[in-house]
Chain A
Amino acid sequence: MVEKSRIMDAAAMNRALRRLATEIVEKNKGADDLYLVGIRRRGVPLAEHIRDKIEAIEGVRPLYGILDITLYRDDLSTVGANPIVNRTELTEDIEGKNIVLIDDVLYTGRTIRAALDQLMDFGRPKRVQLAVLIDRGSEHRELPIQADFIGKTVPTKQTEIIKVMLKEFDEVEAVGIFERK
């Protein structure tokens, strides 16, 4: 993969996450009922960052959980054999909660569909909203799914890949557009 352009550096990412945190708090009129759920892998540290920022803004630390959607994927037969299964950690009951699903990139919408299916197996939340750092644009969407909170919308070609790089997995903190080889 060759990086074509860098669309966010660490400072820009931080600003985008702070704005996402503010918008989530504003739309939900506070943070008392919020339950942030990060989608593995990169949605997890992003959810943690947003949680910290919400706490800094509101003085309330929202509930927090992790979803691994591997067992709910609809493409097991096309992605090749056995993607790695990781643990889902929803330690608090989701029944009646205001869930904010958090992921790094919104592309076809299939990951979010899988996450919604999984959430419903754990209970009946009051409401589910979606926050993503990057939205690749609705023209790529294969399902009727849109985000409620978007860090940055980046129209891309299908041959391109958006990679959100995080300290937890990569050496840098940045977002780049790469060309699929």
Chain B
Amino acid sequence: MPAFPATECADCGELYGFPVVACRACGSESFEAHDVDGSGTVYARTTIRVPGADHQGQEPFEVCVVDLAADIRITARILDNPGLSPGDSVQFVEARDGVFFFEAA
């Protein structure tokens, strides 16, 4: 099972999913890679059927707000359009071009 590539503030330990340039909690600009458990839970889900300019041709694709066990919430793509609902389990697969991809667990 792939681990999720989180970011940890080197000064206060605050964890982030998406990359950050300054820590919201303490203002530090020093960060370290910090892998966390890649299993998560769906908080909310939609399926994009009318995409924006940069995602033409990829539709339909599923997007979820995902809660990781490490108390990190992110917005991510879900592979294979499983039609998830809040509370369903997902597993991190990979990060590609700044986008996090999960699959139904």
Whether A and B are associated in the same complex: the answer reads: no
Binding site for B on A (CB under 8 A): none
